[in-house]
């Protein structure tokens, strides 16, 4: 079993009341401590996921910026290519 440490937190009465209501309705936790522990674990996992997504989003943005010049060059080449125009025309005919 993981070692646990006792901490003291202060919560508004209204929040404690809401916690009690949810605990009675769901019957998933035996005590407030367990309910709060589960909520904190959920919050920590959610924040990790948010951070992971932000890191990925930033990496993708950098990648797209780095590839921007190459993409423009390839697009310019495609405009000059008669084969590309034939391909686009063939696609238009299919539609």
Per-residue pLDDT band for 57 (boundaries 50, 70, 90) equals: very high
pLDDT at 64: 87
Which of 3-7, 11-15, 60-64 reaches the highest mean pLDDT? 11-15
Contact in structure between 65 and 53 (CB atoms under 8 Å): no
pLDDT for 66 equals: 87
CA angle centred on 55, ends 52 and 59, rounded to 5°: 140
Does this model's pTM top 0.85? My answer is no
Average confidence score pLDDT of the chain:
88
Answer whether residue 82 shows pLDDT above 70: no
């Amino acid at each position: 079993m993981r070692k646990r440490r006792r901490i003291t937190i202060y919560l508004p009465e209204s929040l404690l009341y809401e916690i009690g209501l949810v605990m009675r309705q769901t019957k998933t936790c035996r005590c407030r401590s367990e309910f709060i522990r589960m909520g904190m674990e959920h919050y920590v996992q959610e924040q990790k996921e948010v951070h992971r997504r932000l890191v990925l989003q930033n990496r993708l943005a950098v990648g797209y910026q780095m590839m921007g010049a190459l993409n423009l060059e390839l697009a310019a080449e495609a405009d000059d290519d008669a084969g590309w125009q034939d391909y686009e025309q063939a696609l238009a005919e299919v539609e």
